[in-house]
Structure 1
Amino acid sequence: MKLLAIDCAANLCAACVHDADAGIELGRQVLDLGKGHAEHLMAVIEAALKAGGIGYQGLDAVAVSIGPGSFTGLRVGVSTARGLALALKIPAIGVTTLEALAAEAANAFPGRAVLAALDAGREELHAALFDEALILTYGPGVATLSQATRMAVDAKAVLTGTAAPLIAAAAGPDFDTGPAVATADIATYARLAAAKGPGAKPKPLYLRGTDAKPQAGFILPRRSHESGKPGSGEDHAPKGKKS
Structure 2
Amino acid sequence: MLTLAIDTAASFCSACLWDDASERVVAEEERDIGRGHAEQLMQVVERVMRSGGCDYADLGCIAVAIGPGSFTGIRVGVASARGFGLALGIPVTGVTTLETLAADAAGDARGPITVTVKGGRGQFFMQDFDASGHPLADARAVDEAAADQAIPDSACLLVGNAAAEIAEKLVASGRKLPALIDRATGNIATVARLSARSSHAPVPLYLRGADAKPQEGFALARADAKGREAGR
Q: What is the TM-score normalised by the length of structure 1?
A: 0.79
Counterpart code for 2:49: L
RMSD of the TM alignment (CA)? 1.9
Structure 2 unaligned regions, length at least 5: 212-232
Instruction: State the Cα deviation string for residues 102-145 of structure 1 (Å, max 9, x = none).
Output: 11111222x42111111223331111111234332223111134
Q: Which amino acid aligns with 1:139?
A: D
Q: Which 4+ stretches in 1 moved above 6 angstroms?
A: none
* Change in CA separation of 1:115 and 1:122 when aligned onto 2, cut-off 3 Å: same
Task: Give the alignment of 1:20-39 within 5 angstroms.
Answer: 20-39=20-39
Offset at 1:194? 2.3
Query: Post-superposition shift, 1:51?
Result: 1.0
Determine the structure 1 residue equivalent to 2:193.
191
In structure 1, what is the equivalent of residue 60 of structure 2?
60
Q: Distance in 1 between matches of 2:131 and 2:104?
A: 13
Q: Tell me, what secondary structure is at the counterpart of 1:136?
A: coil
How high is the sequence identity, in percent, across the aligned residues? 42
Which residue of structure 2 aligns with residue 91 of structure 1? Answer: 91
- The DSSP-based 3-state class of the residue aligned with 1:18 is strand
Does the 8 A contact of 2:95 with 2:200 survive in 1?
A: no
SS state at 2:16 partner: strand
For 2:30, give the aligned amino acid.
Answer: V
State the aligned residue count.
207
Correspondence 1:177 to 2:180: yes
Residue 77 of structure 1, CA deviation: 0.2
Report 1:99-178 matches (<5 A): 99-109=99-109, 111-145=110-144, 148-172=147-171, 174-178=177-181
SS at match of 1:27: strand
| Other structure's SS at 2:196 match | helix
AA paired with 1:119? K
- Report SS of the residue matched to 1:69: coil
Per-residue deviation, 1:191: 0.8
**C-alpha displacement at 1:153, in angstroms?**
4.1
Mapping of residues 217-236 of structure 1, within 5 Å: none
Structure 2 distance, partners of 1:86, 1:200, is 17
Runs of 5+ unmatched residues, structure 1: 212-243
d(CA) in 2 for partners of 1:206, 1:121: 11
Deviation track 1:54-85 (CA, whole Å, cap 9, x = no partner) reads 11000110000000111111000000001101
Q: With a CA cutoff of 8 Å and minimum separation of 6, indicate the structure with the bigger relative contact order.
A: 2
Which structure's CA Rg is the greater one? 1
Task: Say which is worse superposed, 131-140 or 17-26, in terms of deviation.
Answer: 131-140
Output the CA distance in 2 between the equivalents of 1:150 and 1:200. 29
- Counterpart CA distance in 1 for 2:111 and 2:42 is 38
Of 64-73 and 116-125, the range deviating more from structure 2: 116-125
| Cα distance change on mapping 1:174 and 1:201 into 2, 3 Å | closer
Question: Contact 1:3–1:194 (CA<8 Å) still a contact in 2?
Answer: no
Q: For the Cα contact (< 8 Å) 1:153–1:171, is it kept in 2?
A: no
- Post-superposition Cα deviations, 1:148-182, rounded to whole Å, max 9, x if no partner, equal 4234342223101111001211223731012x222
Q: Please tell me whether the aligned partners of residues 107 and 132 of structure 2 are also in contact (alpha carbons under 8 angstroms).
A: no
State how 1:195-210 maps to structure 2 within 5 Å: 195-196=197-198, 199=199, 201-209=201-209
